[in-house]
Amino acid sequence: MTINSKVKTDAELIAIVNQYMEDHPNATRNHIILHSHGNHQRIRELDKKGLIKLPKPLPKGGVWGRYFYIQSRDKEFVR
């Protein structure tokens, strides 16, 4: 019987996620899940169990309003 070396234990996955959050303190929830090199479903389950603390999800819609606004008279984008 062979052991799959690619499968990470929960402790290894928790350590990887915590290390990524320390290295990237401004990372969003999805960036942490995508770049932690683990199964996204397992990371979400660990968050639900309370073993790791992921940031809250961003609200949907209106994302461009945070970065740009349109001046109504000149219709120019301002950053």
The per-residue pLDDT for 45 is 92
In a domain, 70, yes or no: no
Q: Hey, CA dihedral for 10, 12, 15, 20, is it positive or negative?
A: negative
For residue 20, which of 63, 6, 28 has the smallest C-alpha distance?
A: 28
For 32, the domain range is 8-56
Each of the 79 residues of the chain gets a pLDDT tens digit; together they read 556 667 788 888 999 999 999 998 888 888 888 888 878 899 999 999 999 998 887 766 555 555 555 555 555 545 4
In a domain, 34, yes or no: yes
The per-residue pLDDT for 74 is 53
Task: Indicate yes or no: pTM above 0.75.
Answer: no
The per-residue pLDDT for 3 is 63
Report the domain count for the chain: 1
In a domain, 64, yes or no: no
